[in-house]
Amino acid sequence: MIKAGIIGSTGYAGQELVRILVGHRETQIKWFGSRSYIDKKYSEVYRNMFQIIENNCLDDNMEELAKQVDVIFTATPQGLCSSLVSEEILSKVKVIDLSADYRIKDVKIYEEWYKLKHQSPQFIGEAVYGLCEINRNDIKNARLVANPGCYPTCSTLSIYPLIKEGLIDLNSIIIDAKSGTSGAGRGAKIDNLYCEVNENIKAYGVTVHRHTPEIEEQLSYAANKEIKINFTPHLVPMNRGILITAYASLSKDVSYEQMKAVYDKYYQNEKFVRVLDKDICPETKWVEGSNYVDVNFKIDPRTNRVIMMGAMDNLVKGAAGQAVQNMNLMFGLKESMGLDLVPMFP
Amino acid sequence: MIKAGIIGSTGYAGQELVRILVGHRETQIKWFGSRSYIDKKYSEVYRNMFQIIENNCLDDNMEELAKQVDVIFTATPQGLCSSLVSEEILSKVKVIDLSADYRIKDVKIYEEWYKLKHQSPQFIGEAVYGLCEINRNDIKNARLVANPGCYPTCSTLSIYPLIKEGLIDLNSIIIDAKSGTSGAGRGAKIDNLYCEVNENIKAYGVTVHRHTPEIEEQLSYAANKEIKINFTPHLVPMNRGILITAYASLSKDVSYEQMKAVYDKYYQNEKFVRVLDKDICPETKWVEGSNYVDVNFKIDPRTNRVIMMGAMDNLVKGAAGQAVQNMNLMFGLKESMGLDLVPMFP
Amino acid sequence: MIKAGIIGSTGYAGQELVRILVGHRETQIKWFGSRSYIDKKYSEVYRNMFQIIENNCLDDNMEELAKQVDVIFTATPQGLCSSLVSEEILSKVKVIDLSADYRIKDVKIYEEWYKLKHQSPQFIGEAVYGLCEINRNDIKNARLVANPGCYPTCSTLSIYPLIKEGLIDLNSIIIDAKSGTSGAGRGAKIDNLYCEVNENIKAYGVTVHRHTPEIEEQLSYAANKEIKINFTPHLVPMNRGILITAYASLSKDVSYEQMKAVYDKYYQNEKFVRVLDKDICPETKWVEGSNYVDVNFKIDPRTNRVIMMGAMDNLVKGAAGQAVQNMNLMFGLKESMGLDLVPMFP
Amino acid sequence: MIKAGIIGSTGYAGQELVRILVGHRETQIKWFGSRSYIDKKYSEVYRNMFQIIENNCLDDNMEELAKQVDVIFTATPQGLCSSLVSEEILSKVKVIDLSADYRIKDVKIYEEWYKLKHQSPQFIGEAVYGLCEINRNDIKNARLVANPGCYPTCSTLSIYPLIKEGLIDLNSIIIDAKSGTSGAGRGAKIDNLYCEVNENIKAYGVTVHRHTPEIEEQLSYAANKEIKINFTPHLVPMNRGILITAYASLSKDVSYEQMKAVYDKYYQNEKFVRVLDKDICPETKWVEGSNYVDVNFKIDPRTNRVIMMGAMDNLVKGAAGQAVQNMNLMFGLKESMGLDLVPMFP
Q: Is D202 on the interface with B (CB under 8 A)?
A: no
Per-residue model confidence (pLDDT) at position B142: 98
> Which residues are paired to C144 by β-bridges?
C95
Residue positions of B annotated with a catalytic role: 150
Q: Which pLDDT tens digit goes with each residue over A260-313? A: 999 999 999 999 999 999 999 999 999 999 999 999 999 999 999 999 999 999
Rounded percentage of chain D residues whose pLDDT exceeds 70: 100
**Nearest residue in D to C53, CA atom:** D342
Candidates A283, A293, A342, partner chain B, best to mutate (most B CBs within 10 A):
A342
> What are the chain B neighbours of A288 within 8 Å (beta carbons)?
48
Bin C162: left if φ > 0, else alpha if -120 < ψ < 50, else beta.
alpha
Q: Would you call A286 and B239 a contact, using CB atoms and an 8 Å cutoff?
A: no
Q: Residue B300 in contact with residue B306, Cβ under 8 Å?
A: yes
Q: Which of C52, C274, C342 sits opposite D342 (nearest CB)?
A: C52
Q: pLDDT tens across C287-316, in order?
A: 999 999 999 999 999 999 999 999 999 999
CB distance D342–C22 less than 8 Å?
Answer: yes
- DSSP H or E segment with residue C83: helix C80-84
Within chain D, which residue ranges are assigned CATH 3.30.360.10? 151-313
To test the contact with chain A by mutation, choose from C15, C193, C204 the residue with the greatest count of A C-beta atoms within 10 A, namely: C193
Residues 6 or more apart whose Cβ sits within 8 Å of residue A191: A184, A197
Residue A23: how many CB atoms within 10 A of its CB?
Answer: 17
Distance CA C129, CA C114 (A): 18
A50 vs B296: CA distance, rounded Å: 13
Nearest to B236, CA basis, from D194, A24, C45, A177: D194
Asked whether the beta carbons of C130 and C101 are under 8 A apart, the reply is no
Inter-chain contact D342–C239, Cβ cutoff 8 Å? no
For chain D, say whether C267 makes contact (Cβ under 8 Å). Answer: no
Chain C contact for A239, CB < 8 A? Answer: yes
C204 touches chain D (CB under 8 A): no
pLDDT digits (tens, 9 = 90+) for A42-80: 999 999 999 999 999 999 899 999 999 999 999 999 999
- Rounded distance, CA B15 to CA B19, Å? 6
Helix axis angle, B150-164 to B132-140, nearest 10°: 100
Give start-end residues of each CATH 3.40.50.720 domain in chain A.
Answer: 2-126
CB of B232 within 8 Å of any CB in chain C? yes
Closest CA to A300 of A263, A337, A250, A345: A250
CA D210 to CA D328: how far, in whole Å? 28
Beta carbons within 8 Å of C151's beta carbon, 6+ residues apart: C175, C177, C179, C209, C211, C215, C231, C233, C242, C244, C318
Contact check, Cβ <8 Å, C196/A199: no
ipTM over 0.95: yes
Tell me the shortest Cα–Cα distance from C272 to chain B, in angstroms. 19
Query: In Å, how far are B152, B179, B234, B344, D62 from B184, measured between CA atoms?
Result: 15, 9, 11, 22, 39
Angstrom CA distances, C238 to A131, A192, C252, C289, D241, stand at: 37, 14, 38, 13, 16
Record: contact D181-B198, CB cut-off 8 A: yes
- Which is the catalytic residue, given A57, A132, A150, A154? A150
Which chain C residues are closer than 8 Å to D343 by Cβ?
Answer: 19, 48-49
- Output the pLDDT for position C126: 97
Between chains, do A188 and C190 touch, taking CB under 8 Å as contact?
yes
Residues 6+ apart with CB under 8 A from C139: C128, C130, C132, C145, C326, C329, C330
The 10s digit of each residue's pLDDT in B211-265 is 999 999 999 999 999 999 999 999 999 999 999 999 999 999 999 999 999 999 9
pLDDT score for C48: 98
Measured at the alpha carbon of residue C276, what is the angle toward residues C274 and C282, in degrees to the nearest 5? 90
Q: Do the Cβ atoms of C195 and A12 come within 8 Å?
A: yes
> In this complex, which chains have at least 3 CB pairs below 8 Å with chain B?
A, C, D
User: Which residues on B lie below 8 Å from C240 (Cβ)?
Assistant: 199
Cβ separation of C12 and D346 shorter than 8 Å?
yes
Do residue A193 and residue C193 have CB atoms under 8 angstroms apart? Answer: yes
Annotated active-site residue A132? The verdict is: no
| Of A150, A157, A216, A207, nearest in space to A184 by CA | A150
Residue span(s) of chain A under CATH 3.30.360.10 come to 151-314
| Architecture of the domain made up of B151-314 | 2-Layer Sandwich (3.30)
Q: From D93, D100, D89, D96, select the one nearest D73 (Cα to Cα).
A: D96
CB C239 within 8 A of CB D346: yes
Task: For residues C114-143, give the mean pLDDT.
Answer: 98
Dump pLDDT digits (tens) for C22-60: 999 999 999 999 999 999 999 999 999 999 999 999 998
Q: From CA B10, how far away is CA D344, in angstroms rounded?
A: 39
Type and span of the H or E element at C92 = helix C87-92
- Residue A180 CA, distance from chain mean position: 14
Kindly provide the b/e burial profile for residues C316-338, where b requires at least 16 CB atoms within 10 angstroms of the residue's own CB: bbbbbbbbbbbbbbbeebebebb
**String of b and e for B44-81 (b: at least 16 CB within 10 Å)?**
ebbbbbbebbeeebbebebeebbeebbbbbbbbebbbb
Closest-CA residue of chain A to D346: A195
Which ranges constitute the DSSP H helices of chain A? 12-22, 42-45, 62-68, 80-84, 87-92, 107-114, 132-140, 150-164, 194-197, 211-223, 256-267, 321-330
B267 in Cβ contact with B133 (< 8 Å)? yes
Cβ <8 Å between A283 and D200:
yes
β-pairing, D293-300 vs D174-179, is: unpaired
Angle of CA points A274, D233, A164, to nearest 5°: 40
Contact A299, A259 (CB under 8 A): yes
The DSSP result for B99-145, as a single string, is SSTTT-S-HHHHHHHHT---S-GGGTTT-EE--HHHHHHHHHT-SEE
- Taking the Cβ of residue B284 and every Cβ of chain D, the question of whether any pair is shorter than 8 Å is answered with no
Q: Cα–Cα–Cα angle for C325, C329, C332, nearest 5°? A: 135
Q: Does residue C195 belong to the interface with chain A, where contact is any CB pair within 8 Å?
A: yes
CB distance C192–A193 less than 8 Å?
Answer: yes
Q: What is the DSSP string of A114-144?
A: HTS--S-GGGTTT-EE--HHHHHHHHHT-SE
Question: In A, which residues are within 8 Å of B49 by CB distance?
Answer: 342-343
Asked if the C-beta of B19 comes within 8 angstroms of chain C's C-beta atoms, the answer is: no
| B5: β partners | B31, B72
3-state secondary structure B251-270: CCCCCHHHHHHHHHHHHCCC
Handedness of CA D300, D301, D302, D304 (dihedral sign): positive
Cβ within 8 Å, pair D303-A195: no
The number of C-beta contacts closer than 8 angstroms across A and C is 56
Q: Which residues of C touch A186 (CB under 8 A)?
A: 190, 193, 195
Q: Kindly determine whether residue D305 and residue A174, on different chains, have CB atoms separated by under 8 Å.
A: yes
Whole-number Å distance between alpha carbons of D287 and D345 = 9
- Nearest C-alpha of chain B: how many angstroms from A343? 6
CB pairs under 8 A between B and C: 143
For D163-200, the DSSP string reads HHTT-B-TT--EEEEEE-GGGG-S---GGGBHHHHTT-
Are residues C203 and B238, on separate chains, in Cβ contact within 8 Å?
no
- Span D114-136, pLDDT tens digits: 999 999 999 999 999 999 999 99
For A201, the closest of D174, D228, D284 (CB atoms) is D284
- Identify the pLDDT of residue A68: 97
- To 5 degrees, how large is the angle CA C144–CA C145–CA C149? 145
pLDDT confidence tier of residue C148, bands split at 50, 70 and 90: very high
Residues of D in contact with C288 (CB under 8 A): 48
Cβ–Cβ < 8 Å for B318, B150: yes
Q: Number of helices and strands (H, E) in chain B?
A: 12, 13
CA nearest to D246, candidates A204, A200, A176, A249: A176
Residue D233, preceding bond cis, omega within 30 degrees?
no
Distance from CA of A141 to the nearest CA of B (A): 30
Contact B319, B16 (CB under 8 A): yes
Task: Give CA–CA dist D140/D128, Å, rounded.
Answer: 10
- DSSP bridge partners of D273: D293
What chains are in contact with C, requiring at least 3 Cβ pairs below 8 Å? Answer: A, B, D
pLDDT at position C225: 97
Give the closest-approach CA distance of C148 to chain B in angstroms: 22
- Let me know: does C38 contact C59? Beta carbons within 8 Å: yes
- Min Cα distance D286 → chain C (Å) is 4
Report how far residue C77's alpha carbon sits from residue B293's, in angstroms, rounded to the nearest whole number: 37
D188 closest CB neighbour out of B12, B188, B198 = B188
Instruction: With beta carbons under 8 A apart, name residues in chain C contacting A237.
Output: 194, 198
A305-312 and A242-249: which strand pairing? antiparallel
Residue C128, C-beta contacts closer than 8 angstroms, at least 6 positions apart: C135, C138, C139, C142, C144, C145, C146
For the domain C2-126, what is the CATH code? Answer: 3.40.50.720
**B12/A346 Cα distance (integer angstroms):** 7
Rounded CA-CA distance C57/C44 in Å is: 10
Annotation: CATH topology of D151-313: Dihydrodipicolinate Reductase; domain 2 (3.30.360)
Which pLDDT score, from 0 to 100, does residue B290 have?
98
d(CA A100, CA A89): 19
Partners of C146 in the β-ladder: C97, C129
Give which of B165, B147, B345, B163 is closest to B241, Cα–Cα.
B345
Cβ-in-10-Å burial (0-12, 13-18, 19+) of D211 comes to: buried
Which of C150, C154, C195, C281 does the annotation list as catalytic? C150
pLDDT (average), residues A91-100? 98
D239 — phi, psi (to 5°)? Answer: -75, -50
Residue C202: band (very low, low, confident or very high) from pLDDT cuts 50, 70, 90: very high
| Chain-chain contact of B243 with C203 (C-beta, under 8 angstroms) | yes
Distance between CA atoms of residues C96 and C142, nearest Å:
10
Per residue in A168-180, pLDDT (tens digit) is 999 999 999 999 9
The reported pLDDT for the residue numbered C71 is 98
Reduce the DSSP state of residue A247 to 3 states and report it.
strand
What pLDDT digit, counting tens, does each position of D151-206 carry? 999 999 999 999 999 999 999 999 999 999 999 999 999 999 999 999 999 999 99
Q: Which residue of C has its CA nearest to D182?
A: C346
Q: Which residue of chain C comes nearest to B180, CA vs CA?
A: C199
Query: Across-strand partners of D305?
Result: D249, D300
List subunits contacting chain D, requiring 3 or more Cβ pairs under 8 Å: A, B, C
- Please name the residue ranges forming H helices in chain B: 12-22, 42-45, 62-68, 80-84, 87-92, 107-114, 132-140, 150-164, 194-197, 211-223, 256-267, 321-330
D32-53 per-position pLDDT tens digit: 999 999 999 999 999 999 999 9
The mean per-residue pLDDT over the stretch C157-185 comes to 98
Which phi and psi angles does C307 have, rounded to 5°?
-105, 120
Average pLDDT over every residue of D270-294 = 98
